[in-house]
Structure 1
Amino acid sequence: MQVKANDRIETFHDLVRVLKTHPEWLEELRQLILTTELIELPKKFEEFIENEFKPLKKKVDKLEEDVAVLKQDVAVLKQDVAVLKQDVAVLKQDVAVLKQDVKILKDDVGMLKGDMFEMKLKDKAPSRFGFIIRRCKVLSAEKYVEILDDALDENKITFEEREDALDVDLVATGVLTKDPTKKVFLVAEASVKADKRDIERAYRRAQIFKKATDTETLAVVVCKEKTQGAIKKAQELDVILINVLR
């Protein structure tokens, strides 16, 4: 290696200038300064690109495609869920309407049962009340309305009491079974399942007829079932509670 006079190096800038003048020296200097690992780094980086990065990028690209498909599936699922929610909402409305219809039907059936129970009571009054009164005669609505109107005219009862008593289920006359010389009125309420309100109603209306007729009036409730409240209230008010099977 021939060194020229102007190749004298005293500063860093002299070194840079000389290396530019002799590029072959630069390669030798690089080999002296850099380790083998650093020298081979570009080659290893290329190998990394080929063997690691590119396969990884393919996997990432595939993953992105899968995610895109998944997003589409999720979007479709959301639409299906939205439709399902609408269907459920419609179903809930239909169920609500059905519940209302069932409630109305139950109420109608309950009223029908009550009406039939009341009709049977009127037909079988002598047998139902035989242990209480004899010579049982069921008064027609016209007859007991006349009794109440006469009592109203005579100021024995108030108009409100008349209106209340008009809704009675049954009014009958007869004589006490235990004392045939004593004539009585019998006021009855018919209820498939009697509660304390039925007892109170029968007692209240019996008292109105007692005032209207100046005659002893028995309060009776006829039922198929009864609550404990009905039993207790009947004992308190001395109302006769009759259970029938049919």
Structure 2
Amino acid sequence: MAFQTIEDLLKAIREHPEWREELRRVILTEELLQLPERFERLSAIVQQLAASVQQLVEQGARHDEEIRQLRKEFHEHRQEFLAHREEFLQLRKEFYEHRQEFYEFRQETNSRLYRLERDMAELKGSDRERYYRERAGAIFGRYLRRVRLVDFSELYEELDSREPLTQEELLEVSLLDAVVEGRRKSDGTPVLLAIEASWSIYPDDVQRALARAQIIAKRGYTVYPVVAGKYAEEGLIESARRLGVLVVLDGGRVHGDTALM
């Protein structure tokens, strides 16, 4: 059968549908023939991708909801934090105010305690001074005869007549708590006792008694420095003995008394 025109060919294909497949194989290349199959596979892949995208969209929606919830909770916690922060700042402010009040109160208390301790020390010291002035005869009568307290105006005059006192020396002698005179029983030598009395005896008391006794000794008197009190710092009796200072504790034994014998 011969075909004169393209219309004759098309008419024949319509009359013989079985020719179409053969005609395709002749006309189309192998790659074009495989397109339908490839399209099917691509379509399947696209559907899978669409399903994955949908799944991602749904997950994204859930995540968006979670984020919104987290934002809501964060906002609530932030408000709570700001409220607590404000409370904390107020408490801190009150703390600093009370701390300042406490500091001032402590300063005032310390000042009062210092004044009280000072007043008590003065009272105790005055008590010991009176005690040793009143009991000088009983305490030192074991070593001296004719024990008596020396009047300070009399003492100043006697000292100054032997060698004029400087203002500093006069002040130092005047600060002695008592001066006792008597005659040593062992040989009748007239002696003076330069006494520093306090509630508790410290090394400074020893040094003061020694320095003030030396002012008197400088003018030709036989004089012994004495520290007297109710208590003495540990080791003080021995250190005073090495310096030649007598120690009397609460009207009892006179430590270093060999000098008076």
TM-score tier (shorter): 0.7 to 0.9
Contact 1:200 1:233 in 2 (8 A): no
Residue 221 of structure 2 corresponds to which residue in structure 1?
Answer: 215
Residue 242 of structure 2 corresponds to which residue in structure 1?
Answer: 236
In 1: Cα distance, 2:245 partner to 2:115 partner: 32
Contact 2:126 2:198 in 1 (8 A): no
Which of 178, 182, 191 pairs up with 1:170?
A: 178
Tell me: CA distance 1:126–1:50, structure 2 relative to 1, closer, same or farther (3 Å): same
Runs of 4+ in 1 over 6 A off after TM superposition: 28-31
Residue 202 of structure 2 corresponds to which residue in structure 1?
Answer: 195
Deviation sequence 1:188-237 (CA, Å, 0-9, x none): 1112222333223222222322343x332222221222234532332223
Q: Unaligned regions of 5+ residues in structure 2, if any?
A: 1-38, 253-261
Which of 79, 93, 116 pairs up with 1:82?
A: 93
In 2: Cα distance, 1:68 partner to 1:204 partner: 76
Q: CA RMSD in A?
A: 2.7
Deviation sequence 1:69-126 (CA, Å, 0-9, x none): 2222122212212221221122122112211221221112111111111011111111
Length-normalised TM-score, structure 1: 0.74
Tell me: CA distance 1:64–1:29, structure 2 relative to 1, closer, same or farther (3 Å): farther
Residue 142 of structure 2 corresponds to which residue in structure 1?
Answer: 131
Tell me: CA distance 1:133–1:242, structure 2 relative to 1, closer, same or farther (3 Å): same
Contact 1:149 1:162 in 2 (8 A): no
In 2: Cα distance, 1:206 partner to 1:217 partner: 6
Length-normalised TM-score, structure 2: 0.70
Residue 21 of structure 1 corresponds to which residue in structure 2?
Answer: none
In 2: Cα distance, 1:165 partner to 1:49 partner: 101
In 2: Cα distance, 1:61 partner to 1:29 partner: 47
| Percent pairwise identity | 22
Equivalent residue of 2:192, what SS?
Answer: strand
Q: Are 2:77 and 1:70 aligned?
A: no
Once the two structures are TM-superposed, the CA of residue 55 in structure 1 deviates from its matched residue by: 4.4
Q: Which has the larger radius of gyration?
A: 2
1:97-176 to 2 correspondences below 5 Å: 97-151=108-162, 155=163, 157-176=165-184
Aligned positions, number: 214
In 2: Cα distance, 1:122 partner to 1:73 partner: 71
Residue 55 of structure 2 corresponds to which residue in structure 1?
Answer: 44
